[in-house]
């Protein structure tokens, strides 16, 4: 258990970032935990595993890709429970861990191909804007670059942890032109550079088609709405939270105020919300492994593609 708590802290402390990376790490941690377990019987094993699942889920309340991965493994185990030999439970977890990993990777590949088609093969330099860091958004842009499309990217620095720098570096590494701006220059950048398309990722999608993403995402969506710029969200359906269909509300994670101001004056209250919602009314399309559609249709596509997670 001590090792699992140490592993979980890597997610909680943001040492591991990005929804897909967090999901992959969490299922890896559960798998490693299972290998260390010494159980008297299968019931005790399941008790330990559910406890481990809860510890990992509690590290990041707004990461459905992680929740779905852990629940996928546990649901599969429940289906086989009567036939599982205790000594081989870690092998079975490994099998389902690898299946979920393949789901994530295959969805990313499909989304990159579908999303890249939204960038036209134009003679003039097309302008795409993004916010924060999304491995999926960078995959789309890298795929478009591979296809020889002529475009440049404007990205935000993303306060307070400056995740936008990771996006900028990844794109620069493959020869994509990048213009890096401060968050508060979003509207100025959209107007000044005549942005053609805004593309962001998502940490979570609700049953109503609302997405939750890094703070600043809604501001960018409002700018897109004001300036009549198409606004797309790229996300695997695995980031849909089925619990929201039952009335459970997604929570907004509040992070350490020291990220904003390390040594502030006394008697000042500092708030550091990590995420915010973007209403479906501002989203022109959700780019997923099932295609591009209105975000309000996410539940239907999720049930169709991943019935075992419902």
Residue 270 three-state SS: coil
Distance of CA 133 to the CA centre of its chain: 10
User: Phi and psi dihedrals of 304, rounded to 5?
Assistant: -70, -40
- Residue by residue, DSSP assigns 144-206 as HHHTT--EEEEEE--TTTTTHHHHHHHHHHTT-EEEEE-GGGHHHHHHHTT--EEEE--SEE-
Where are the strands (E) in the chain, listed by range? 126-130, 151-156, 177-181, 197-200, 204-205, 211-214, 231-234, 275-278, 285-288, 291-293
- ω before 160 within 30° of 0 (cis)? yes
Q: Where in the sequence numbering do the catalytic residues fall?
A: 132, 203
- Give the integer Cα–Cα distance in Å for 127 and 111: 20
Enumerate residues 6+ apart whose C-beta is below 8 A from 84.
Answer: 42, 77, 92
- CB atoms under 10 Å from CB of 184, counted, come to 12
- Give the integer Cα–Cα distance in Å for 179 and 189: 9
**For the stretch 50-83, what's the b/e string if a residue is b when 16 or more beta carbons lie within 10 angstroms of its beta carbon?**
eebbebbbebbebbbbbbbbbbbbbebbeeeeee
């Amino acid at each position: 258990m001590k090792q699992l708590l140490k592993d979980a802290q890597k997610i909680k402390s943001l040492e591991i970032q990005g929804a897909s990376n967090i999901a992959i790490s969490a299922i890896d941690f559960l798998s490693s935990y299972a290998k260390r377990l010494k159980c008297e019987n299968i019931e005790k094993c399941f008790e330990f595993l559910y406890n481990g699942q809860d510890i990992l889920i509690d590290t990041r309340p707004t990461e459905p890709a992680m929740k779905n991965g852990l629940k996928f493994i546990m649901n599969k185990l429940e289906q086989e429970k009567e036939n599982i030999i205790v000594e081989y439970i870690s092998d079975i977890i490994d099998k389902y861990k690898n299946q979920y990993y393949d789901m994530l990777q295959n969805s990313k590949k499909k989304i990159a191909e579908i999303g890249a088609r939204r960038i036209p093969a134009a003679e003039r330099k097309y302008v795409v804007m993004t916010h924060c860091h999304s491995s999926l958004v960078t995959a789309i842009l890298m795929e478009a670059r591979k296809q020889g499309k002529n475009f440049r990217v404007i990205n935000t620095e993303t306060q307070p942890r400056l995740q936008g720098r990771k996006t900028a570096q990844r794109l620069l590494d493959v020869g994509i032109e990048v213009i890096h701006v401060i968050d508060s220059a979003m509207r100025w950048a959209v107007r000044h550079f005549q942005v053609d398309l805004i593309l962001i990722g998502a940490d979570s999608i609700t049953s109503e088609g609302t997405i939750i993403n890094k703070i600043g995402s809604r501001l960018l969506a409002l700018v897109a709405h004001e300036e009549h710029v198409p606004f797309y969200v790229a996300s695997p359906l695995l980031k849909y939270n089925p619990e929201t269909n039952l009335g459970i509300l997604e929570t907004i994670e509040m992070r350490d105020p020291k990220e904003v101001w390390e040594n502030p004056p006394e008697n000042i209250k500092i708030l550091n919300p990590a995420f915010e919602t973007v209403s479906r009314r501002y989203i022109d399309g959700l780019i997923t492994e099932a295609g591009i559609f209105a975000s309000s249709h996410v539940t239907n596509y999720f049930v169709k593609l991943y019935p075992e997670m419902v």
